[in-house]
Amino acid sequence: MTTGRFVTFEGIDGAGKSTHLAWAEQFLKRRKIPLVVTREPGGTRLGEQLRELLLASDQPIDAETEALMMFAARRQHLVEVILPALKGGAWVLCDRFTDASYAYQGGGRGVPTRKLQVLEAWVHPKVKPDLTFLFDVSIEMARERISRIKSPDRFESQDAAFFKRVRNAYLRRMRAEPRRIVRIDGGKSISEIQAELEQHFDRLWSK
């Protein structure tokens, strides 16, 4: 069996990644590509339970506890969903992965990078996305989009300074791994973004 492709969708809240992940799912299905679509935190029964705790707007959580919970959910996600799918030849589209931990828990919360690196090396030392789309928008645009949400979760409720730190951390990740992480201008029209995504999927398919 051939190994599948692992594609992740990243960006600050309000960047539009979930919208384009839904489009990517339909695009790849039309091409008859075996596909698993999942999310983090979540993707498993345990992961979804942890997600509820992590996103609860009234739930105070220490920054390092938050990071540990994210990686605990991620480990279960890998074992139950991601690795079996890839080994079976399926493509996996995942709404967030470890880049999000470096951005949110590292950049946003201030958890030291060295601690996140230890967790990454422990939880998935040999697993990295084949391609990561980083949907990038200005803080102002992201905040305007978030303002339309009736009941923002614990992350969506953060202030502009938090999201600025998260965005900067994402951009640092992109500069460090430019061949894997592709910046997508989330301020472009939906059709422009979809055309760009299609080109990247075509290149990944041909590898």
Residues 151-207 have pLDDT tens digits of 889 999 999 999 999 999 999 999 999 999 999 999 999 999 999 999 999 999 887
The answer to whether residue 64 is domain-embedded is: yes
State the DSSP H helix or E strand holding residue 132, giving kind and residue range, or none if neither. Answer: strand 131-136
Is there a domain that residue 42 lies in? Answer: yes
Q: State pLDDT tens for residues 107-138.
A: 999 999 999 999 999 999 999 999 999 999 99
20 part of a folded domain: yes
What is the per-residue pLDDT across 26-78, written as a single tens digit (0 to 9) for each? Answer: 999 999 999 999 999 999 999 999 999 999 978 789 999 999 999 999 999 99
Phi, psi (deg, nearest 5) at residue 93 = -105, 120
Q: Looking at residue 2, what is its pLDDT?
A: 58
pLDDT of residue 73: 98
The residue with tokens 């992350």 is 155
In sequence order, which residues have a C-beta less than 8 Å from that of residue 171 and are 6 or more positions away?
Answer: 134, 136, 183
- 107: DSSP letter: I
Residue 18 included in any domain? yes
Residue appearing with tokens 């839904």:
22
Structural domain count of the chain:
1
Structure tokens at 1: 């069996």
pTM metric for this prediction: 0.95
Residue 1 in any domain: the answer is no
**Helix (H) or strand (E) segment spanning residue 171:** helix 160-176
Range of the domain at 45: 6-206
**pLDDT for the residue numbered 1:** 42
Which run of H or of E encompasses 54?
Answer: helix 45-55
What CATH number does the domain containing 138 carry? Answer: 3.40.50.300
